[in-house]
């Protein structure tokens, strides 16, 4: 059974998303009797979550006072990718105070990686970004038990299975922590500050080293029974396709992903099918999805064909998911979103042709607005939610 | 934001699902202060929803009195199929008082079909099944706007688009009415009184004239943005497959459904590939999925192959949906569930081989327990929910 969200959580979220608000407006917005609201505000001021922010503009009669989130609130937001670490420290309104991004290999294992995360957060502290953290949110590239705060059987993260990520961060920073899947945090970020703002049912499709899907249903992230909902990279798209790292054949991400595209691009460069790619291979010794994107912009037909083939495959899977889930928006993000509008056009074309007309009548298929910041933004949202939820 | 369910709804549902309960136990079960509960009960007794039911067994001290749903409560439950009408009148505990089932053609249009539903309900009244109805629940074989109580662009229901089904039933029977998709009501029925009892995330896959999927997520039916979630019959499974009635090629239900199987069986009978089917075709002039099921039981290899081919295709689609939705159970129902364990074994085999091991570790794939009664059971649950919700 669904339970109503407590007043303090709704109140703190409203200040996070709106900034300074007058007491009078807060009572209206939260549909709350004024005495109860004022008592709650007093409590949150005393607990250090809320601060006075001067007088509001007059609405006639006595002027109401403004309140805002305590300007000293600080959350850490961490986005671990297969080959990257992104760390931000943000204030209560989730505006970045300091940010670090560096290359990294998730296969180094949890001790090395989390040690590095803690070093970066220590550096941020030394540089004056915070005195103490109010919560930490972190995304990892694999399935997560959201309840337990641990990765669960993550295929590309050796050594991380059931490693107590949340517990370690809580102990280190003496504040609540929350762990989620990297694609889920991107979806959360995009809904908070991106193109899916105010959409309750949408799919966030990340196309990067692998392919995954963040699922928002009725306004909440849907994680599935075991926390692995959205693992669409291993849906079979061609029963005669190439072997996938998972042991099956013809999986979506074996045919189209950062890794698959680099392989196909290398073949096209060597065979002479693409002069642009051949030139880049000769110059740098390797070609990547980015080279394909740039080749397509230069009009190289092989590059355009590689992108369209990939889009057709992603589109075929998404058409099925649209028939199943009937979402109101699809957002395409992740590193390969840089393949841009050629990719998007092909995905749209397949989705609109193959799904039920009723389900696609008002279905936008769009690129992520936040791009590489989607993950840390979502991690910050999760961190603030867990801190606010515990502000009892 | 989610809101808590009101006390009266929780209380009436508990009496529906548990039968007579003492006032003392109710207060415990609903975690409610006794004075508030007693006041609410008085109100519901006066409104005709709840009745006294004698004294409870002693728990020491004064004996608590039992309460139960008013024995005079009556709900009508209607399940419209492509070629059938099922009508039941049930009491407050959803036990059938009277039931009718007859062949019918949904293409006769809403006026003819709903006229027939009303005639059957009138007959039930004359036979003493009820004096007045407290609510009507109805399922139709197509997409529905649950909020508006109307079918929306239903492909196999000419004349029904936006027809005011709920309004007409409400006017005719002077009680609330609720309209849903036929597969959703089967899923609701299976959760209320079948194999999915107490499961919060499951897929109910109906394989009948067509193929559809009822989706339960976090304990509630998920209907999608336009009410057409679960339309999995038109997911493409073979880009070189046969033309489907929807205009695309290679849809799941063009390859495997009641209609597709009858066609394949006829071909097998005519070509001599199946002696059993040839005999049945000669005897009755047509063969159906039921003949294939019986042929398989008799060991006819062509019949067995037809069922396994179908199971492989359904399994392929379900494997993808398991990766996407990570449910905790899959229930197979509808007319072709009569193909039984050969079908089930093949579906299981594909799902377990193709989906992520984490998602299938504890995933039962089972046949419907309620069989042909799943639909009316779910319609009765919906009817009672809407009546209880309005018991203000």
Chain B residues in contact with A354 (beta carbon < 8 A) = 234, 236, 248
Instruction: From A51, A69, A87, give the residue that closes a domain.
Output: A69
Instruction: Look at residue A110 and tell me if it is in a domain.
Output: yes
Chain B residues in contact with A353 (beta carbon < 8 A) = 248
ipTM value: 0.89
Give the model's pLDDT for residue B269: 95
Q: Are residues B364 and B215 in the same domain?
A: yes
Which long-range contacts does A2-7 make (Cβ < 8 Å, 24+ apart)? A2/B2, A2/B3, A2/B4, A2/B5, A3/B2, A3/B4, A4/B1, A4/B2, A4/B3, A4/B4, A5/B1, A5/B2, A6/A389, A7/A32, A7/A36, A7/A37, A7/A40
Contact at CB, A224 and B359, closer than 8 angstroms = yes
pLDDT higher than 70, residue B2: no
pLDDT higher than 50, residue B119: yes
pLDDT higher than 60, residue B3: no
CA of residue B187 relative to chain centroid, distance: 5
Instruction: Look at residue A307 and tell me if it is in a domain.
Output: yes
Q: Are residues A129 and A259 in the same domain?
A: no
Give the model's pLDDT for residue A3: 52
Instruction: Look at residue B333 and tell me if it is in a domain.
Output: yes
pLDDT class of B4 with cuts at 50, 70, 90: low
Q: What percent of chain A has pLDDT over 70?
A: 98
Q: Are residues A128 and A160 in the same domain?
A: yes
Q: Are residues B357 and B243 in the same domain?
A: yes
Give the model's pLDDT for residue B57: 73
Instruction: Look at residue B17 and tell me if it is in a domain.
Output: yes
Give the model's pLDDT for residue A59: 66
Q: Are residues A64 and A149 in the same domain?
A: no
Q: Are residues B87 and B16 in the same domain?
A: no
Sign for the pseudo-dihedral over CA of B127, B132, B134, B139: positive
The partner residue sitting opposite B213, judged by closest CB among A236, A316, A324, is A324
Q: Are residues A337 and A254 in the same domain?
A: yes
Q: Which of A184, A314, A320, A350 to mutate to test the interface with B (most CBs of B within 10 A)?
A: A320
Q: Are residues B85 and B29 in the same domain?
A: no
Chain A residues in contact with B353 (beta carbon < 8 A) = 248
* Tens digit of each residue's pLDDT (9 = 90 or more) over B227-243: 889 999 999 999 899 99
| DSSP labels, B276-294 | HHHHHHHHHS---HHHHHH
* Tens digit of each residue's pLDDT (9 = 90 or more) over B376-385: 999 999 999 9
Q: Are residues B46 and B169 in the same domain?
A: no
- Give the 3-state DSSP-derived string for A194-233, with helices as H, strands as E and coil as C: CCCCCCCCEEEEEECCCEEEEEEECCEECCCCCCCCCCHH
Q: Are residues A258 and A358 in the same domain?
A: yes
* Tens digit of each residue's pLDDT (9 = 90 or more) over B151-190: 998 888 999 999 999 999 999 999 999 999 999 999 999 9
Q: Are residues B377 and B248 in the same domain?
A: no
Interstrand relation of B135-140 and B177-181 (parallel, antiparallel or unpaired): parallel
| Closest chain B residue by Cα to residue A244 | B354
Q: Which of B10, B323, B327, B364 to mutate to test the interface with A (most CBs of A within 10 A)?
A: B323
| The total number of structural domains that make up chain A | 3
Sign for the pseudo-dihedral over CA of B349, B355, B357, B358: negative
Instruction: Look at residue B1 and tell me if it is in a domain.
Output: no
* Tens digit of each residue's pLDDT (9 = 90 or more) over B301-319: 999 999 999 999 999 999 9
Instruction: Look at residue A1 and tell me if it is in a domain.
Output: no
**Residues present in chain B in total:** 392
CATH number, domain containing residue B20: 1.10.10.10
Instruction: Look at residue A2 and tell me if it is in a domain.
Output: no
Query: In terms of pLDDT, which residue wins out, B350 or A156?
Result: B350
Give the model's pLDDT for residue B59: 66
All residue ranges of chain A with pLDDT < 70 are 1-4, 58-61
pLDDT higher than 60, residue B128: yes
Instruction: Look at residue B19 and tell me if it is in a domain.
Output: yes
The partner residue sitting opposite B5, judged by closest CB among A1, A234, A235, is A1
The partner residue sitting opposite B2, judged by closest CB among A4, A227, A321, is A4
Interstrand relation of B329-333 and B202-207 (parallel, antiparallel or unpaired): parallel
| Closest chain A residue by Cα to residue B329 | A225
CATH number, domain containing residue B143: 3.30.420.40
Structural domain of A12:
7-69
Q: Are residues A221 and A352 in the same domain?
A: yes
């Amino acid at each position: 059974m669904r339970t109503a969200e407590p007043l303090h959580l709704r109140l703190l979220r409203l200040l996070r998303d709106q900034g300074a608000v007058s007491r009078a407006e807060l009572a209206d917005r939260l549909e709350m009797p004024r005495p109860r609201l004022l008592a709650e505000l007093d409590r949150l001021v005393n607990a250090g979550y809320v601060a006075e922010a001067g007088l509001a503009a007059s609405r006639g009669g006595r002027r109401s006072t403004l309140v805002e989130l305590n300007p000293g609130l600080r959350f850490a937001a961490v986005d671990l990718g297969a080959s990257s670490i992104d760390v931000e420290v943000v204030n209560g309104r989730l505006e970045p105070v300091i940010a670090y991004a560096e290359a990294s290999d998730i296969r180094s294992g949890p001790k090395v990686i989390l040690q590095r995360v803690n070093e970066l957060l220590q550096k941020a502290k030394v540089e004056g970004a915070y005195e103490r953290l109010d919560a930490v949110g972190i995304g990892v590239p694999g399935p997560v038990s959201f309840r337990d705060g641990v990765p669960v059987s993550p295929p590309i993260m050796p050594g991380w299975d059931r490693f107590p990520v949340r517990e370690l961060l809580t102990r280190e920073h003496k504040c609540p922590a929350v762990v989620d899947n990297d694609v889920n945090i991107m979806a959360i970020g995009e809904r908070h500050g991106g193109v899916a703002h105010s959409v309750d049912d949408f799919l966030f499709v990340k196309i990067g080293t692998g392919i995954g899907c963040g699922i928002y249903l009725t306004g909440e992230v849907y994680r599935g029974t075991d926390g692995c909902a959205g693992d669409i990279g291993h849906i079979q798209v061609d029963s005669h396709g190439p072997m996938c790292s998972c042991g099956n054949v013809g999986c979506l991400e074996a045919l189209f992903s950062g890794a698959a595209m680099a392989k196909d691009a290398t073949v096209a460069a060597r065979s002479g099918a693409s002069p642009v790619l051949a030139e880049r291979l000769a110059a740098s010794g390797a070609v990547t999805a980015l080279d394909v994107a740039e080749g397509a912009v230069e009009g190289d037909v092989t590059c355009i064909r590689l992108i369209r083939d990939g889009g057709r495959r992603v589109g075929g899977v998404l058409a099925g998911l649209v028939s199943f889930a009937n979402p109101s928006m699809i957002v395409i993000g992740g590193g390969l979103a840089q393949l841009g509008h050629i990719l998007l056009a092909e995905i749209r074309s397949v989705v609109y042709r193959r799904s039920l007309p009723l389900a696609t009548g008002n279905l936008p298929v769009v690129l992520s607005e936040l791009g590489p910041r989607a993950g840390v933004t979502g991690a910050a949202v999760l961190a603030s939610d867990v801190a606010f939820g515990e502000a009892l």
